[in-house]
Amino acid sequence: MTVSNLHPSINSNLYAALRAAFPADLDGVAVETDNGLFYSWRDLERASAMLANLLGSLELPTGARIAVQVDKSVEAMLLYLATLRAGYVFLPLNTAYQRAEIEYFIDNAQPSVVVCTTRNFGWVSKLSFTAGTGHVFTLDDDRSGSLLQRAAHCSDQHAVVHSQPDDLGVIIYTSGTTGRSKGAMLTHGNMLSNAQVLKDYWGWRNAEQGGDVLIHALPIFHVHGLFVAIHGALLNGSKMLWLSHFDPKLVPQAMRRATVFMGVPTMYVRLLAEPSLNREAAQGMRLFVSGSAPMLIDTFDAWRARTGHTILERYGMSETVMLTSNPYFAVHGERRGGTVGLPLPGVSVRVCDDAGASVPVGSIGGIEVKGPNVFKGYWRMPEKTSEEFTADGYFRTGDVGKIDAQGYVTIVGRSKDLIISGGYNVYPAEIEACINEMPGVAESAVVGVPQADFGEVGVALVVAKPGCDLNPLVIIAALKSTLANFKIPKQCFVVDDLPRNAMGKVQKGLLREQYSQTFHGP
Ligand code: MCA
Ligand code: AMP
């Protein structure tokens, strides 16, 4: 999706917009961490300037990718801001990814700079230099590492690079149904337009309106934690209470000094199991946002009963940032559990049948979307990109849903073979490919089944080659050595065969049904 710049003299660099929203008093606290550190707005401005100057001094090519796999820290966020302001392309990588996964991303994205933890430096630097990366730095979550050492010598003054709305700012890798990840290319215009819409739609309050304080408990290598949460707070000049990882005991304590929380449904489920979550803890809160995975109506209801707050569920994708949201202001409508709300202002959402025709109100079909938030395409995959867009410019989400007469969108399933586990996407094709390569395996199928904590988890069904004996525990252990931990099926069964339809295709629907009680008892 191309956004034209009607005023080319205006700097559309996302950092410029975030910086313009910082409060006048730059000495105020912008981020307070759970290990007792305080960062002022001036610290964010100066430290991101130093990092941007370091990147600028490396004489990187235009559009250089800066690939980052580091533990959550404020400095990791500063590196993101620095990459934006220096005009390069940020490429965040899940900390759970293992060597083979990282190797693929580095080969595919060809980053000029890679930033990793000290503990991974040996193997990450080796495969990065082999792939042609010029610079590998380390960054740890205790403010140590070569990146900050080098940046310490750089000036803390930096003029934000001039960007057009259509300039690339971030590449986010999303897995694919064929098992190989695709890099979704997001522009400064995609991210800024979405952040501005959410600022108004969710009623972010600036200092004169009493101010908002965000509890930031999400990882910062995906859209939810990196964009929705961080952009939301910065674009409003709001303080963040920064948790290095999600801890259900710490969140109710933080609520007493905060107004906004964002989480995936697993976080809400875990918080409901925490006795210190009660009305009193939540009384100063203004907004609870859930997304990245479907929230069960039971969780939605239990949250309202326990805290007196109605969760606002919204829906988005790496390719599109946020698409729909339940209303914040009553004038826009009520928040309806089980739905993902209304299309955000400026976003067009339609539901179509297989032939591409819009279906009647309330009928089920494929969800297609269009708007300034929709990405530029998949990195170096022009054919894949054009396959996913309709002739009239709508992006096919792969989600299946319906829209009611009031415009509320409900997601009822997915046409893509995807498991969403605790807010992380797991593509069965990738796991099956790994299992199928193991000795003695004839074939396999991985399906998602309900589970109370993660919502949905993978179960692997594996068929042995004739005369071979397979041990499910050995299969799981072998997967753990190659794939990110959240992708590992939570159960593995060796079966005689897989059910197939007349076309010879594995009937995953039947398997899902058959194994649906695996974690729920009889
Ligand atoms: C951890 N494990 C998981 C998951 N997380 N397994 C399946 N799914 C998961 N999400 C594994 C661990 O490796 C461990 O395995 C075992 O499960 C128990 O882990 P636990 O300690 O309970 O997990 P945790 O470290 O507390 O993490 C749970 C979590 C985390 C906090 C819910 O998964 C998380 O931060 N989820 C949020 C993901 C997110 O930000 N998604 C947004 C994507 P073992 O014992 O074998 O080691 S952006 C997006 O989707 C779009 C655009 C959108 O709309 O937002
Ligand atoms: P990702 O590839 O990580 O960006 O994940 C995007 C997918 O997450 C979407 O295509 C949906 O299938 C799913 N998703 C995001 N938010 C929700 C939600 N509130 N309810 C149901 N599914 C969601």
Q: Give the ligand whose atoms come closest to the C-alpha of residue 476.
A: 1
Q: Give the ligand whose atoms come closest to the C-alpha of residue 322.
A: 1
Nearest to 1 by CA among 293, 290, 317, 228: 317
Compute the average pLDDT of residues 68-89. 98
pLDDT in tens, 74-83: 999 999 999 9
Would you kindly state where each structural domain of the chain is located, as residue ranges? 12-22+37-196, 342-414, 418-514
Chain-centroid distance, C-alpha 408? 23
Compute the average pLDDT of residues 171-188. 87
Strands (E) across 28-79 are located at 29-33, 38-40, 65-69
Contact 90, 83 (CB under 8 A): yes
pLDDT the model gives residue 321 = 98
Strands (E) across 218-274 are located at 239-242, 260-263
Q: Residue 441: which residues within 8 A CB-CB, separation 6 or more?
A: 435, 462, 463, 464, 465, 468, 470, 475
pLDDT the model gives residue 344 = 98
pLDDT in tens, 47-58: 999 999 999 999
Strands 135-138 and 89-92: unpaired
Question: Which residue's CA lies nearest to atom 1 of ligand 1?
Answer: 486
pLDDT the model gives residue 7 = 63
What's the whole-number average pLDDT of the chain?
96
Q: Is 414 in the pocket of ligand 2 (CB under 6 A)?
A: yes
Q: Is 475 in the pocket of ligand 2 (CB under 6 A)?
A: no
Which helix (H) or strand (E) element contains residue 475? helix 472-480
Going from the C-alpha of 490 to that of each of 416, 456, 475, 480, the distances in angstroms are 21, 10, 12, 11
CA of 41 to the centre of ligand 1 (A): 30
CA of 52 to the centre of ligand 2 (A): 32
CA of 254 to the centre of ligand 2 (A): 27
CA of 451 to the centre of ligand 1 (A): 13
Q: Look-up: residue for tokens 């940046």? A: 151
CA of 439 to the centre of ligand 2 (A): 35
pLDDT in tens, 339-372: 999 999 999 999 999 999 999 999 999 999 999 9
Q: Is 316 in the pocket of ligand 2 (CB under 6 A)?
A: yes
Q: Look-up: residue for tokens 């997601």? A: 411
Q: Residue 367: which residues within 8 A CB-CB, separation 6 or more?
A: 349, 350, 351, 397, 399, 400, 401, 409, 411
Q: Residue 244: which residues within 8 A CB-CB, separation 6 or more?
A: 33, 34, 35, 71, 72, 73, 141
Tokens of 74: 């404020």
pLDDT in tens, 137-165: 999 999 999 999 999 999 999 999 999 99
Q: Give the ligand whose atoms come closest to the C-alpha of residue 453.
A: 1
Nearest to 493 by CA among 444, 438, 421: 444
Question: Which of ligand 1's atoms lies nearest the C-alpha of 318?
Answer: 52
| Substitution candidate for ligand 1 out of 173, 174, 267, 292 with most atoms within 8 A of CB | 292
Question: How far apart (Å, rounded) are the C-alpha atoms in residues 403 and 409?
Answer: 4
CA of 211 to the centre of ligand 1 (A): 31
The type of residue at 328 is: Y
pLDDT the model gives residue 206 = 84
pLDDT for residue 118 is more than 50: yes
pLDDT for residue 3 is more than 80: no
The string over 56-65, giving b where at least 16 C-beta atoms fall within 10 Å of a residue's C-beta and e elsewhere, is beeebeeebb
Superfamily of domain 12-22+37-196: ANL, N-terminal domain (3.40.50.12780)
pLDDT the model gives residue 209 = 78
Considering the chain, what percentage of its residues have pLDDT values greater than 90? 93
Compute the average pLDDT of residues 171-194. 89
Question: How far apart (Å, rounded) are the C-alpha atoms in residues 151 and 412?
Answer: 48
Q: Is 399 in the pocket of ligand 2 (CB under 6 A)?
A: yes
Question: How far apart (Å, rounded) are the C-alpha atoms in residues 46 and 88?
Answer: 18
Instruction: Provide the residue count of the chain.
Output: 522
What's the DSSP call for residue 32? E
Q: What angle do CA 292, 295, 301 make, to 5 degrees?
A: 145
How many other C-beta atoms can be found within 10 angstroms of the C-beta atom of residue 469? 7
- 416 band by pLDDT with thresholds 50, 70 and 90: confident
**CATH 2.30.38.10 is held by the domain 342-414:** yes
Q: Is 420 in the pocket of ligand 2 (CB under 6 A)?
A: yes
Q: What are phi and psi of 399, to 5 degrees?
A: -95, 150
Among 172-186, 393-407, 485-499, where is mean pLDDT lowest? 172-186
Question: Which residue's CA lies nearest to atom 10 of ligand 2?
Answer: 317
Burial of 221 (0-12, 13-18, 19+ CB in 10 A): buried
Q: Is 340 in the pocket of ligand 2 (CB under 6 A)?
A: yes
CA of 475 to the centre of ligand 2 (A): 29
CA of 243 to the centre of ligand 1 (A): 15
pLDDT the model gives residue 1 = 45
Q: Residue 104: which residues within 8 A CB-CB, separation 6 or more?
A: 180, 181
| Substitution candidate for ligand 1 out of 174, 325, 473, 486 with most atoms within 8 A of CB | 486
- 85 band by pLDDT with thresholds 50, 70 and 90: very high
Q: CB-hemisphere CA count at 13 Å for 514? A: 15
Pocket residues for ligand 1 (CB within 6 Å)?
218-219, 222-225, 246, 264, 266-267, 291-292, 316-318, 421-424, 454, 457, 485-486
Which helix (H) or strand (E) element contains residue 299? helix 297-307
Question: Which residue's CA lies nearest to atom 22 of ligand 2?
Answer: 293
CA of 453 to the centre of ligand 1 (A): 10
pLDDT the model gives residue 455 = 96
Q: What are phi and psi of 241, to 5 degrees?
A: -95, 110
Question: How far apart (Å, rounded) are the C-alpha atoms in residues 218 and 195?
Answer: 17
| Substitution candidate for ligand 2 out of 181, 317, 319, 378 with most atoms within 8 A of CB | 317
**CATH 3.40.50.720 is held by the domain 418-514:** no
Question: How far apart (Å, rounded) are the C-alpha atoms in residues 388 and 393?
Answer: 10
Question: Which of ligand 2's atoms lies nearest the C-alpha of 317?
Answer: 4
Q: What are phi and psi of 510, to 5 degrees?
A: -65, -40
Question: Which residue's CA lies nearest to atom 20 of ligand 2?
Answer: 294
pLDDT for residue 174 is more than 50: yes
Question: Which of ligand 1's atoms lies nearest the C-alpha of 315?
Answer: 54
pLDDT in tens, 493-502: 999 999 999 8
Question: How far apart (Å, rounded) are the C-alpha atoms in residues 258 and 256?
Answer: 6
pLDDT in tens, 259-308: 999 999 999 999 999 999 999 999 999 999 999 999 999 999 999 999 99
User: pTM for the complete prediction?
Assistant: 0.96
pLDDT for residue 2 is more than 50: no
Question: Which of ligand 2's atoms lies nearest the C-alpha of 172?
Answer: 4
